[in-house]
Structure 1
């Protein structure tokens, strides 16, 4: 009866209004959303995202992850200020990206080794001399005993005789423990090329293993960024870092982590990739502040391992090194050896060479190390390196034959032009312009400063030929509108040019 009476009262009350037959429906405003960065062509990890805070933002990562129904993965505090989160839908990720404390959110992706198994030791003999024939010697000026080499890979067999007790574990980001032992073989081989007593470039460098790839040789950006963050926070300088791994497309979070770790004083050597494509399409190979390495064979030709695997090339490479039939330590026993090929094998030659340079110049910055290796490299002796690639072969500066005469310096003045020079876009949209340079003395590196607060700026590619073009993309977010000048700088190591892109938002 009570229910009937109440119903009658309600109906009567509505009838008394005379003008309103239905109660008004109030719709809550939908939570704000913002685009999530996803690398084109990347093999993404479903539900897994990388979150970067805005400068100056504070807060608890677990609280923020939980607010959007996610589970906190790892926290980053040195190479990046942010965290990883799992279990989010695409919509939840977009809502997280719009949080006032968040700069941007990027989807996590799969990373793989950059090696190709193949079938005597020739590589060390080759890098200490300018030209063939080989002299059956590897001569070096120091052993880099004051340098620490960090190998971000599948782990290391630390007890191998090649390492003479100089290898240790940093952290295992696969098993989440302090034992970064190798169960794949790739990392042990790479470490042997960096600093093994027999097959290493830097014979006495200390080696620290950071395991980010599993027994099958795969991992994710989340684990690798965690390792970069670990090095940046815990690493000892002078230090070099080798990353013989990579993924498709660009990943701003990974590249920013590498960039900031380099800014903290660590030199990075990166494998260029084995896809037979432009290295600018792969990460972290496309990071301009690092030393990105292509692979060549015994004849000085770009390495081709089989019908579907050959060295990447292009303007994002800095240098080439041996990458075919490289003999080094095996993870199978403390005295075992094996041969592998790939840009994974080329990169540790450069990491070892960087360690040698730091052995003699312990106060050198990563840029000084990179510039020294590029400047001392042997020029114009390689074949099939493809248009836009530097024709520069790693030279460790000892022994060998008389170097060839350097090429004549180019004439002209470096210039940079934009198309368009100005653009107007809406909030949350992406601004784009094409940068064209002329008159460079060699490969030209591009950088950009300014723009809306919290904006992200990416060149594709970052390094271009002396006469070439690149597209700048500016991700603006949903901050205040206005007109923002963005200064673009082009430099070839000798000359520089600047121009301004005017971006109006709103």
Structure 2
């Protein structure tokens, strides 16, 4: 099983199956990429009329192992604890589409200047962020991360706990800080792009900033089942390529929830390195790279054909968990993604019936072209713009 991590530089904890993209050293994401979870697998089933529960029970009776959780919305399948031999036998069963080892994912981290940059086409900054009409009102934003300190004053009572698929309960309290920072950038009153959005904490990563594929997929499954639309999801996490996770993200988007994902903080890996990691490589998601105050592609940011838009991701000030007024500064594509998710919320507050494809098209079309001073390769990178 893969582990995913947050993509921020200041937070380096590992994430099983997924880690937040925080402002952390670019090595953090790579370190997690090889962290397979022993004896833990995700099983995707072929289409059938019987329930996932009954098929999982039958397969486990035949091949062994233990069913840990069921997926019914973004995946027809289940998470399984089993030996490698049991997993191999299961994979050969004609009722099974695939068996994928669970892995860890990490976060991608390496009023904020980032907000100031969004509402003007050119530098220098004017020290003002003019909130566009709507402000995200009427939209629910699902932050799939380490949880959120929902009592923080910057949320003004607009943040609630949704679910915790890391501990399998309903308490999505943040004990890491990454998710609260991300949520503040997306929807904080003072620090957020969309200061009237409703923030829903979906905890899939633990206190160290990492979580397993199975936990991240469970979070997506919960959002698909419970999303109050119009809605947007944010995934500031990343890890090794996972076809199962990718398909779960696609199905969430197909269910009507546009999803912003961090491109990843492995920029020194070369062009299109983001196309080799999940969920950054999912074409249906809005994949977000990071820029600095000088409109340069951040040195840690992934770039290339799988990046849809760039957004501020260096030295971003937002909310944190020390107390209900605390803030901190983080860097990473984890910080860039919620800028884009907030912009999606702004669009949906004005056009609530827009499809995810229409939202992404509008977001990219509104971006400012030709200003990234160190853009590499043939891909036209646009800087996120709200109006």
Q: Same fold, TM exceeding 0.5? A: yes
The C-alpha deviation readout for 1:326-368, integer Å capped at 9, x for no partner, is 0000111001111101000000000000000000000000000
Deviates more, 1:354-363 or 1:138-147: 138-147
Structure with greater contact order relative to length (CA < 8 Å, sep ≥ 6): 2
Note if 1:260 corresponds to 2:251.
yes
Note if 1:226 corresponds to 2:221.
no
Distance, in Å, in 1 between the alignment partners of 2:374 and 2:205 is: 31
Q: How far apart are 1:151 and its partner, in Å?
A: 0.2
Distance, in Å, in 2 between the alignment partners of 1:222 and 1:42 is: 16
Equivalent of residue 56 in structure 2, options 61, 81, 87? 61
Note if 1:103 corresponds to 2:97.
yes
Query: Which residue number in structure 1 is paired with residue 242 of structure 2?
Result: 251
Q: Aligned pair count?
A: 348
Note if 1:336 corresponds to 2:326.
yes
Q: How far apart are 1:46 and its partner, in Å?
A: 1.2
The C-alpha deviation readout for 1:299-345, integer Å capped at 9, x for no partner, is 011113xxxxx111111000000000100001110011111010000
Query: Which residue number in structure 2 is paired with residue 175 of structure 1?
Result: 167
1:38-117 pair list within 5 angstroms: 42-56=34-48, 58=50, 59-86=54-81, 88-116=82-110
1:292-311 pair list within 5 angstroms: 292-304=287-299, 310-311=300-301
Question: Is the CA contact (8 Å cut-off) linking 1:158 and 1:165 kept in structure 2?
Answer: yes
User: Taking structure 1 as reference, are residues 81 and 328 closer, same or farther at Cα in structure 2, changes over 3 Å only?
Assistant: same
Which has a greater percent of strand? 1
Question: Is the CA contact (8 Å cut-off) linking 1:270 and 1:293 kept in structure 2?
Answer: yes
Question: Is the CA contact (8 Å cut-off) linking 1:152 and 1:210 kept in structure 2?
Answer: yes
The C-alpha deviation readout for 1:465-496, integer Å capped at 9, x for no partner, is xxxxxxxxxxxxxxxxxxxxxxxxxxxxxxxx
Query: Which residue number in structure 1 is paired with residue 348 of structure 2?
Result: 358
Find the structure with the greater CA-based Rg: 1
Deviates more, 1:319-328 or 1:43-52: 43-52
Q: How far apart are 1:42 and its partner, in Å?
A: 3.9
Equivalent of residue 389 in structure 1, options 370, 379, 385? 379
Distance, in Å, in 2 between the alignment partners of 1:121 and 1:229 is: 33
Q: How far apart are 1:56 and its partner, in Å?
A: 2.1
Query: Which residue number in structure 2 is paired with residue 287 of structure 1?
Result: 282
Secondary structure of 2:223's partner? helix
Equivalent of residue 157 in structure 1, options 146, 149, 164? 149
Query: Which residue number in structure 1 is paired with residue 209 of structure 2?
Result: 217
Q: How far apart are 1:394 and its partner, in Å?
A: 0.1
Query: Which residue number in structure 2 is paired with residue 13 of structure 1?
Result: none
Secondary structure of 1:169's partner? strand
Secondary structure of 2:128's partner? coil
Secondary structure of 2:193's partner? coil
The C-alpha deviation readout for 1:123-165, integer Å capped at 9, x for no partner, is 1111111101112221122211110000000000000001111
Secondary structure of 1:379's partner? coil
Secondary structure of 1:378's partner? coil
Distance, in Å, in 2 between the alignment partners of 1:66 and 1:301 is: 56
The gaps in structure 2 that reach 5 residues or longer are 1-31
User: Taking structure 1 as reference, are residues 92 and 104 closer, same or farther at Cα in structure 2, changes over 3 Å only?
Assistant: same
Query: Which residue number in structure 1 is paired with residue 316 of structure 2?
Result: 326
Query: Which residue number in structure 2 is paired with residue 348 of structure 1?
Result: 338
Secondary structure of 2:79's partner? strand
Note if 1:377 corresponds to 2:367.
yes
Secondary structure of 2:143's partner? strand
Distance, in Å, in 2 between the alignment partners of 1:42 and 1:224 is: 17
The gaps in structure 1 that reach 5 residues or longer are 1-39, 305-309, 398-506
The C-alpha deviation readout for 1:358-385, integer Å capped at 9, x for no partner, is 0000000000000000011000100223
Secondary structure of 1:126's partner? helix
Runs of 4 or more consecutive aligned structure 1 residues displaced over 6 Å after TM superposition = none
Q: How far apart are 1:60 and its partner, in Å?
A: 3.6
1:415-434 pair list within 5 angstroms: none
Distance, in Å, in 2 between the alignment partners of 1:390 and 1:377 is: 11
Q: How far apart are 1:388 and its partner, in Å?
A: 4.0
Note if 1:272 corresponds to 2:263.
yes
Secondary structure of 1:279's partner? helix
Q: How far apart are 1:102 and its partner, in Å?
A: 1.1
User: Taking structure 1 as reference, are residues 328 and 104 closer, same or farther at Cα in structure 2, changes over 3 Å only?
Assistant: same
Distance, in Å, in 1 between the alignment partners of 2:61 and 2:178 is: 37
